[in-house]
Amino acid sequence: MGSLPPQLDTPEKAMAFAVDTAGEFLDGLVPGGEADPYRAQWYVRPIIDRLGTIPALAPARHGDWSTLRSRDTFKLRAGRSLAEGDVDAALGYAAEAGRAMDALADVRRTDPGLRLQVGIPTPFVIGFIAFEARMLTRRRGSVGPGDRAFPYYRPIVDATVREIVRIQEAWGDNVVFQLEMPAETLICTGTPGVLRQGPATAAGRAIARLVARAPHGSRFGVHLCYGSLDDKPVVAPRSAAPVVALANAIARYWPAGRQLDFIHFPLGNGKQAPVRPQYYAPLARLELPATTRVVAGLAHSAQPLAQARQGLAAAESAYGDQLDVASPCGLGRYKTVDSARSAVAHAVALAQTSP
């Protein structure tokens, strides 16, 4: 789903890995690789590091990044504004995409249908990690991103839009933007079911406002994830209900003229436990555009293949149609290339069993 182990540190290596491991089952998207070793395991860390060079920001906490809680965070200096800094350069999405386009041209000589997948952590994710959870504000009883109470959010949104526009204007239909939403996913998952619609709606509206500012015809995918290190998610919910609620809210407010190509769902827990059909039952409530592919992130490389096949069968039965398959999080969460290759092989084996 975009990120790769740090050994695959060039676009050429990243795209060769994708093509060679997934083969004919590759879904038409190739990653651009992680030039910075931190971009793999901690995919936003280079962004956080670059934000730290903006004069308007002062350190709030130092961490060694051994866990999510142990990270660097910042605060605004008195009388300063984040808009004064070069947030666009700190995000670096356009520069990263530019480095990948020559490699894409090479792989498209044999497969002209391939597109570059451009990972875009949502502004809420950047703010959540760099400035902690102070961007959460209560509004009409719900919890979600509120730019009036959070002075960092709007500059990050504006910079994200500018980067998307630069990429789309330069390469058009050759790219698909993957909006990465681990923070929103974790918040929805941690909210009791009777209150979950509030944060889901807030996230759906925030995504709609962001995407509506992208050029007409832009293509997007959405990556929901529970956050992982070495294939270990932060949480293991008891059902797919939280991600279904979030996906439905995103689809409900999705703006016209921008293609929602896919939504990726983290599913299952990868443990050697009996498959529970009730876990997957909420997939029956998905309300997505007919053209949006549903990607089941249940390819846990350590899980027995027979059990994974049972999980996929239960998920497809609940959804009522065929599902694409992927790992539950980015392959950069694995420490080695061999582990990532094993995860892709697991996904390919599952794809071969789907009717």
Three-class secondary structure of residue 137 per DSSP: strand
**Residues in the chain, total:** 355
The residues, ordered by sequence, that sit 6+ positions from 88 with a Cβ below 8 Å of its Cβ are 94, 159, 162, 163
Quick one: pLDDT at residue 46? 86
Per-residue pLDDT, averaged over 112-118, amounts to: 92
Three-class secondary structure of residue 259 per DSSP: strand
Contact by Cβ (8 Å): 233, 279: no
Contact by Cβ (8 Å): 27, 324: yes
Does residue 180 carry a pLDDT above 90? Answer: yes
Quick one: pLDDT at residue 137? 43
What are the extents of the domains in the chain? 11-353
Q: Can you say whether the dihedral through the CA atoms of 344, 269, 332, 44 is positive or negative?
A: positive
How far apart are the C-alpha atoms of 203 and 197, rounded to whole Å? Answer: 10
Q: What is the DSSP letter of 243?
A: H
Tokens of 313: 């069968």
Q: How many CB atoms lie within 10 A of CB 185?
A: 26
Quick one: pLDDT at residue 138? 40
Quick one: pLDDT at residue 247? 98
pLDDT category of residue 235 using cuts at 50, 70 and 90: confident
The helices-and-strands tally (H runs, E runs) of the chain is: 13, 13
Per-residue pLDDT, averaged over 98-119, amounts to: 91
Contact by Cβ (8 Å): 1, 331: yes
Three-class secondary structure of residue 153 per DSSP: helix
Per-residue pLDDT, averaged over 34-47, amounts to: 63
Quick one: pLDDT at residue 2? 62
Quick: pLDDT tens for 134-163. 444 444 434 444 444 467 889 999 999 999
Quick one: pLDDT at residue 83? 80
Q: Can you say whether the dihedral through the CA atoms of 276, 204, 54, 34 is positive or negative?
A: positive
Quick one: pLDDT at residue 64? 81
Quick one: pLDDT at residue 120? 94
Hunting for tokens 């008195």 — which residue is that? 78
The more confidently predicted of residues 24 and 274 is 24
Quick one: pLDDT at residue 273? 63
Alpha helix segments (H runs only) across 233-336:
241-253, 277-280, 305-319
Tokens of 204: 């759906």
**Considering all CA atoms of the chain, what is the largest pairwise distance in Å, rounded to the nearest integer?**
60
How far apart are the C-alpha atoms of 258 and 260, rounded to whole Å? Answer: 7
Give long-range contacts, CB 8 A cutoff, 24+ apart: 303-306.
303/268, 303/270, 303/271, 303/272, 303/346, 304/272, 305/346, 305/349, 305/350
pLDDT category of residue 304 using cuts at 50, 70 and 90: confident
Hunting for tokens 């149609």 — which residue is that? 321
How far apart are the C-alpha atoms of 26 and 326, rounded to whole Å? Answer: 10
Q: What is the mean pLDDT of the chain?
A: 86
How far apart are the C-alpha atoms of 186 and 225, rounded to whole Å? Answer: 8
Does residue 292 carry a pLDDT above 90? Answer: yes
Three-class secondary structure of residue 144 per DSSP: strand
Closest Cα partner for 125 from 148, 145, 146, 96?
145
Quick one: pLDDT at residue 166? 97
Phi, psi of 81 (to 5 degrees): -135, 140
Contact by Cβ (8 Å): 130, 90: no
How far apart are the C-alpha atoms of 44 and 23, rounded to whole Å? Answer: 29
Quick: pLDDT tens for 219-229. 999 999 987 66
Beta strands in the chain (DSSP E): 29-31, 57-61, 73-76, 115-121, 136-139, 142-145, 175-180, 219-223, 228-229, 232-233, 259-266, 293-297, 324-326
Fold of the domain built from segment(s) 11-353: TIM Barrel (3.20.20)
Per-residue pLDDT, averaged over 32-37, amounts to: 61
% of residues, the chain, pLDDT over 70: 87
Q: Which of 47-56, 175-184, 239-248 has the weakest average pLDDT?
A: 47-56
